[in-house]
Every structure is written in C-alpha cells, then in structure tokens.
Amino acid sequence: MARSTQSRLEIVVPWLPGRIKAITLWPLILYKKGHYTRCVKLHEYYHWRQVQEWGVIPWYLVYLLLGVFYAGKPAREHPLERAAYQLEDACEENL
C-alpha cells in the first residue's frame, strides 16, 4: 500500500530491521506491515514536521550524532524520539 499526502509518501513494507515499526526517511515514511496505525502515524508525522522545521540534512546529522551517545539504550531515550514516543503513548492510552 502506498499513500501520498503533503509531499510525503507513506509505504507499508513487509520488513524493517529489529523492532522498528516505522521510519521516516524523508520524503518517505515506511511502515512495517501491521503497524500502519493512527498512533504510529502520529509518531512519524512528528518526525516529519521536525525534518521540515530543521531541514533534511541538519535533522539527520543531529539524529545520527546523538544516536552515537544513546547506542544500546531504548530508542525512546533518544532526545529526538522522546516527544514522538510521548505522542504515540498518549494516543494508545486513549484507544
């Protein structure tokens, strides 16, 4: 399945590495099959807006550099993931 809105192309794929449910790789948002849900979409839309505000290259550089310091820790501890996970968690609590 593929969906295109607001210059964003959302695609459901059969596989993503590890426990990744979805990933924003601008201009794409890839969702692992079975995880194209409202709450996961909110999480990824948050990243989409971050990339639009910061710019593609600066956001990914900061994300990757911070990833070095947060390697081996839960993804939700990464500074650029915290707010996105809070949105996703709040959404799931209200289902």
Q: In this predicted model, what pLDDT tens digit does every residue of 13-68 receive, in sequence order?
A: 999 999 999 999 999 999 999 999 999 999 999 999 999 999 999 999 999 999 99
Q: Which distant-in-sequence residues (6+ apart) come within 8 Å of 15 by Cβ? A: 32, 33
Residue found under tokens 């194209």: 36
Distances (CA, A) of 88 to 24, 39, 55, 56, 61: 15, 5, 23, 23, 24
Residue 2's pLDDT band (boundaries 50, 70, 90)?
low
